[in-house]
């Protein structure tokens, strides 16, 4: 056995011993006869989650006595704040709407950005507890989803004044990372700090301690790109990120895997479910199936007049509700159509499904997955697959079980290049997404748009598709854009 392997084995054994000792002593010295001090769910988790204990040990340099004190303080705080029970409903709506605290984007090392827009904070003892709960809500939410992955705190001090300085609140944030969520702080980027706050941040440095002081990064518009690339910086920081905070729903970082991962949910109507079950996810890798092509006009082809009866026979019940995407987002790995909005019909119009078309513009296989802010609401097929070089993939998005599409729902398309030797089966894709660096992942977001009623100019491929005169795709695009402009300019 090599020296390196021997050292690694010793370290693993030593870590296991330390974790075991922490569990034993915490139970004996802190929990016994004092169980009301803590939330029983935290005590139970401590007995099962090695990584949680390890995070406290690492922050206290593997000194068990110090780790136990830290656990005691942290657990008491968690119970006082009712952290395990914090939900969106626990936070006043106005506080969520103002957009002063949220998660969005990544730094150059792939760490999630935790934004604190200080200008929206006004010192007020009546609201400070709610603001602390909001910080705890986001950190706990993130910790449960991304166990152990650090965040970069973006302290945006632009446009702030003296009325925004609240040292109690700043100290709370520092303690969150020093005591309550150890190992979660990658760095704290301080942007555009006014000179009047110099004295305040000298105090902050003492709170952080000598080792953590190095995690403070004071920046301006000239050097913030050392830590965060322009795609995740707002314009006032010199970036190009078009993201604008709005609520509800919670910001787009809450993307989750749809209920229907590469397959159907049996509670749809019988016919649709059977069709989907019989079709494998790979069937959708063809741009449009042969049967589906009969419903779409081709450039330069004359479509013969079709009777209503013939039309009903020809049109696939699954595809006739699609609107062909006309706009394209041109990303470095994939071209994504539509570019910004998925168009769904209202309940009355019956246009239930939407289509996302991905085109691989690289020379390598590109893995992709689709997530949504409303995973219980949509079927997405395929939601996790790959696309060959130069090929296109059609992704079908449909509301599940009669649930209503909301304009607040969002979709996230994630993509990353794979090595030529990599497999593309489910197991290989799962492993690939675990290992791919965050900065190698392309992301693109799509909003939902509900069409209230059927209009020929919306170019849905229903009855209208069989009665159109010969038009090129460019003509159709022009018609679509013109109709949108007329609609946008019409009086309310």
Q: Tell me which of 3.40.640.10, 3.40.50.150, 3.40.50.300, 3.40.525.10 is the CATH number of domain 92-237.
A: 3.40.525.10
In terms of C-beta density within 10 A (0-12 exposed, 13-18 middle, 19 or more buried), how is residue 461 classed? buried
DSSP string, 376-432: TTEEEESSEEEE-TT-EEEEEEEESTTPPP-TT-EEEEEEEE--TT---SHHHHHHH
pLDDT at 83: 95
In terms of Cα–Cα distance, which of 389, 387, 408, 409 is closest to 397? 409
- Give me the residues of the chain with pLDDT under 70, please: 1-2, 4-5, 34-35, 147, 211, 252-256, 259-325, 346-351, 402, 408, 452-492
Structure confidence by residue, pLDDT tens digits, 352-395: 788 999 999 999 999 999 988 777 788 898 999 999 999 999 99
Looking at residue 288, what is its pLDDT?
32
* pLDDT confidence of residue 53: 92
Contacts of 224 (CB under 8 A, 6+ apart): 189, 191, 233, 237, 238
Q: Where are the domains of the chain?
A: 1-83, 92-237, 329-449
- Positive or negative torsion for Cα 373, 375, 379, 382: positive
pLDDT value of position 325: 59
The span from the CA of 156 to the CA of 176, in Å, is 18
Whole-number pLDDT of residue 284:
35
Radius of gyration (Cα) for the chain, nearest Å? 27
Q: Which pLDDT belongs to residue 213? A: 77
Does the 329-449 domain belong in CATH 2.60.40.10? Answer: yes
Question: Is the preceding peptide bond at 271 cis, omega within 30 degrees of 0?
Answer: no
Strand partners of residue 366: 387, 417
């Amino acid at each position: 056995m090599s020296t390196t392997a021997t050292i690694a084995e010793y370290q693993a054994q030593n870590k296991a011993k330390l974790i075991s000792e922490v569990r034993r002593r915490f139970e004996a010295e802190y929990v016994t006869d004092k169980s009301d001090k803590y939330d029983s769910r935290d005590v139970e988790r401590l007995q099962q989650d090695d990584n949680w204990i390890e995070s406290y040990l690492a922050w206290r340099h593997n000194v068990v006595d110090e780790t136990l004190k830290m656990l005691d303080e942290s657990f008491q705080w968690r119970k006082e704040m009712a952290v395990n029970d914090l939900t969106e409903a626990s936070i006043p709506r106005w506080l969520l709407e103002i957009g002063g605290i949220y998660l969005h984007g990544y730094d150059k090392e792939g760490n999630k950005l935790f934004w604190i827009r200080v200008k929206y904070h006004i010192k007020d003892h009546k609201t400070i507890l709610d603001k602390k709960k909001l910080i705890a809500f986001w950190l706990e939410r993130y910790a449960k989803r991304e166990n152990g992955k650090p965040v970069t705190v973006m302290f945006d001090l632009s446009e702030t004044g003296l009325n925004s300085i609240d040292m109690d609140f700043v100290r709370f944030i520092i303690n969150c990372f020093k005591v309550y969520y150890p190992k979660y702080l990658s760095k704290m980027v301080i942007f555009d700090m006014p000179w009047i706050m110099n004295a305040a941040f000298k105090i902050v440095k003492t709170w952080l301690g000598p080792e953590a002081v190095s995690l403070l990064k004071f920046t301006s518009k000239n050097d913030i790109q050392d830590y965060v690339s322009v795609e995740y910086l707002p314009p006032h920081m010199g970036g190009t990120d078009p993201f604008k905070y709005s609520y509800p729903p919670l910001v787009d970082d809450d993307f989750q895997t749809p209920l229907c991962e590469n397959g159907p949910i049996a509670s749809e109507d019988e016919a649709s479910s059977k069709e989907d079950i019989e079709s494998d996810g790979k069937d959708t890798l063809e741009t449009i199936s042969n049967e589906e092509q009969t419903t779409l006009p081709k450039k330069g082809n004359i479509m013969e007049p079709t009777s209503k009866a013939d039309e009903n026979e020809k049109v696939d019940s699954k595809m006739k509700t699609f609107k062909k995407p006309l706009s394209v987002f041109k990303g470095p790995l994939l071209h994504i159509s539509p570019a910004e909005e998925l168009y769904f019909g209202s309940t009355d119009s019956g246009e239930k499904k939407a289509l996302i078309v991905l085109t691989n513009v690289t020379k390598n296989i590109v893995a992709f997955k689709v997530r949504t802010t409303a995973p219980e609401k949509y079927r997405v097929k395929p939601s996790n697959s790959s696309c060959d070089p130069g090929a296109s993939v059609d992704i079908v998005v449909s509301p599940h079980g009669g649930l209503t599409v909301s304009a607040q729902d969002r979709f996230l398309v994630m993509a990353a290049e794979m090595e030529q030797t990599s497999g593309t089966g489910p197991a290989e894709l799962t492993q690939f997404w675990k290992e791919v660096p965050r900065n190698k992942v392309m992301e693109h977001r799509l909003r939902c748009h509900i069409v209230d009623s059927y209009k020929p100019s919306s170019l849905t491929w229903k009855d209208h598709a069989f009665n159109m005169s010969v038009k090129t795709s460019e003509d159709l695009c022009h018609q679509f854009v013109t109709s949108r402009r007329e609609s946008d300019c019409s009086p309310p």
